[in-house]
Amino acid sequence: MNSPINRKAFLRNSIILAGGLAFLPYLSSCSDPTEEASAELAELAETLIPKTHTPGAKDLGLQHFVIKMVEDCGDENQQKVFGQGMVKFKSTFRDQYEVDFLNAKATDRSSFLKQIEDEKFPELSEFYSLVKNLSIRGYTNSKFYMTEVVPYELVPGRYNPFFKIA
């Protein structure tokens, strides 16, 4: 049986449809970085925070944190610096070592990052500091760091009745 359309249901569905159409242009701007760029960023973060007796940057997935922070929280300038910096970083490393950053030895990677810190490549310094700061922030906000290195206490300090205050 066909029932007549209820006015309230029609208005509700029309508003939901109009709201969905309003967000349609923003969906085209959502793009995932390529796997290669994500892998290069993972290696860069791993060079900054290597795996020792504690998990490294790759184990904690810091490349995803860096990408998410730049895309969602960074302003247009930071996004531009990040995008252009990834391209310059890749080409500068390849020009200097004649191999991709992904396939390079760990010593070559760390020496290249040391050269960037020493301002040998000033065009990469802003990109490098952005990635380094976000990697460190991601590490210090990770579950591992907050539970194993610096255990979280709801209220700092404990009551010790044997401690004399005055």
- What are the extents of the domains in the chain? 34-149
d(CA 96, CA 18): 54
Residue 17 sits at the vertex; the CA angle it makes with 12 and 19, to the nearest 5 degrees, is: 95
Global confidence as pTM:
0.71
* pLDDT, tens digit (0-9, with 9 covering 90-100), for 15-24: 877 777 666 6
Element (H, E) at 23: none
* pLDDT, tens digit (0-9, with 9 covering 90-100), for 35-79: 888 889 999 999 999 999 999 999 999 999 999 999 888 889 999
